[in-house]
Chain A
Amino acid sequence: MKLAPLFIIEATAFLLIIAETYFFFNFVVPLGPIPHTLTEYTGLALLKVVLIFGLAFFWFVVMIGMTRLYVRSRVGISPKPSS
């Protein structure tokens, strides 16, 4: 049972990877031109860049948030070796 919090973090990472990869390939990539192309689609290109970083940022925030919660809940009770 002591691994249960880490199982939950793994399961969350798994679901986010699936959902975000699907969103990325089906909605972000087909949005328009390659981001560095300066055309009349600049707005779409910018949106694409924002969405790419947004997806990565969201994953980071969720993972860091869950890990910090876990570490904070454990650090106080983690035993130290008797000297």
Chain B
Amino acid sequence: MPPGLTDGVLLLLSFFVPFLLLVFGFPPYLRLLTKKGRVSNDAHKNPPTKVVEPAGPMLFLGALVGEFVVAVGFHSWVPVAIMFGTGVAFIVGLYDDLYVLGGKTKPLLLVLAGLAFVSLVIFKANLYQSVLTFPILGDTSPHFTIYTILAIAAFPVVTNAFNMMDAFNGEISWFTLLTSLALLLGLVLRELYTTGFSLARVASALPLVAAAAAFLIFNRYPSRAFDGDSGSLTFGAMFAAIAITGGVEIAAMIAIVPAILNSFYTLSSVRGFVERRSMPTRPTYIGKDGLLYASTEKEAPNTLIRLILLAGPLSERDLVKDIIYLTILTCIFSAAISVLTWVF
């Protein structure tokens, strides 16, 4: 059903409150971080430049305020559950930004985000439905236990996948913006073409879109801010939680295929969870011409970036463009899945 006037205003507020908060909040926040010396090397510049990090706390604040608007405006528990799981992921990310967690410790701690999220089913049984809806074929039968286990597992998987897409100027912000728009499309179609689907579940995706769009202004090439692990894990956890509560898991999974492939390539080539700083061989390197090259060493990990660069060296800006094209393709697949699932 299309939303009424009040709902329309609430939807606008759910987007613009976090968006404007971040657009106007970032400059003073970045100045504060600079004053405190919180800058890191942009390793893909020759010579390296200094960029402010982490922007994650500001992103989390913006998302939190946005979800608060949704929770109050629509009297819904959904944003509470989303931010409960996201909050745990944010804390893990912030700890990693400040003290650096081990390659295995981080995914293990991120299971806690999944547990925090599903624990709210105790208070609100209809937080998520334990079925998956497939295009044309329809719903699977409900399987609460297996679905809940998969929902918990989704948090470390998706958050790590987002974290691994956070290597170049603008990469994470473009990736999150495009995939969250694909997610939003699925939710909107579900709202328009099915009955009994709460508008709050659609609105809860808007703060994520707003945060990604606002961050893009500061993160695009040449970056003025890096999100840090606190930011990328916040984005990933929100994405997972919104997909689960909105029942658009299939479309969400398809949208993030570049990130899934990237994690899969990395994990399978380094054979396990290894912190990127302790990888024995780098997948890429910067040439004297300032371009990025794929490492041709046999033991170099097969990241998505290396696969792109194997076709030829690229500037950082062109490399991010290629990642955007790969993401647009999967977002088109995701949109097709959403149309086939909810419209037909």
Contacts and interface: CB of A to CB of B under 8 A. Distances in A.
A29 interface: yes
B268 A6 contact: no
Given A3-B325, A81-B287, A81-B289, A14 B257 contact: yes
A6 B307 contact: yes
Q: For the complex, would chain B's binding face be called helix, strand, loop or mixed by DSSP majority? A: helix
A30 B141 contact: yes
A57 interface: no
B134 interface: yes
Contacts, number: 95
A83 interface: yes
Interface residues of B, number: 42
A21 B250 contact: yes
A6 B141 contact: no
Interface in B116-149: 132, 134-135, 137, 140-141, 143, 145-146
Interface in A13-56: 13-14, 17-18, 21-22, 25-26, 29-30, 34
A58 to B, nearest CB: 14
Majority-rule SS of A interface residues: helix
Contacts of B107: none
Contacts of B322: 3
B272 interface: no
Interface of A: 2-3, 6-7, 9-11, 13-14, 17-18, 21-22, 25-26, 29-30, 34, 60, 63-64, 67, 70-71, 74-75, 78-83
16 contacts: A2-B312, A7-B329, A10-B258, A13-B260, A14-B257, A18-B254, A29-B143, A60-B264, A63-B264, A67-B265, A78-B293, A78-B312, A79-B312, A80-B287, A80-B296, A83-B288
